[in-house]
Structure 1
Amino acid sequence: MVAAPAEVQRWQDSGGAWRVAFSDEDRATVELLRCDGGEIVDRLTLTDARDVRWAAVQAAADRD
């Protein structure tokens, strides 16, 4: 299992929610949400291969 990117893990540890908005072979976009899962507070663009792989796994799990 690939660990979450540090920025996403810190956000989650602080009580925030997140979702993978986009993922392809080269990059992924993660939306950081308020703790109630509502409003988008920020967006992260992931380009590191490990982080992109993590996002692809998360996106696939959300579809199931």
Structure 2
Amino acid sequence: MTAVETLERWTDSGAVWRVLSRRGGTITVGLFRCDGGEEVDRITSSTPDLIAFIGDRDSSED
């Protein structure tokens, strides 16, 4: 499963993701529970498809 597929599946299930950092072409995204509370996991990647998917958004709520 790609990082983009993971984020899509995460939001399809009602959970939230948030960009934690953008540095030197690498993005770190936190995966949070459905209520937006506790961080469950993180994805760190420099793949162009993930960077393009997220664009200027700061979270799945944008």
1:22 maps onto 2:12 in alignment: no
Q: Percent identity?
A: 39
Aligned residues: 57
Tell me if the contact between 1:18 and 1:30 (Cα under 8 Å) persists in the aligned partners.
yes
Q: Which amino acid aligns with 2:40?
A: V
> 2:32 maps to which residue?
33
Structure 1 or 2: larger helix share?
1
Match of 1:52 in 2: 51
Which of the pair is proportionally richer in strand? 2
Q: C-alpha distance in 1, partners of 2:22/2:8?
A: 18
Identify the range of structure 1 (47-56 vs 36-45) with the bigger mean alpha-carbon deviation: 47-56
What TM-score, normalized to structure 2? 0.75
TM-score for the superposition, normalised by structure 1: 0.73
CA–CA separation in structure 1 for the residues paired with 2:8 and 2:24:
22
What amino acid is the match of 1:43? R
Q: Counterparts of 1:13 and 1:25 in 2: how far apart (Å)?
A: 29
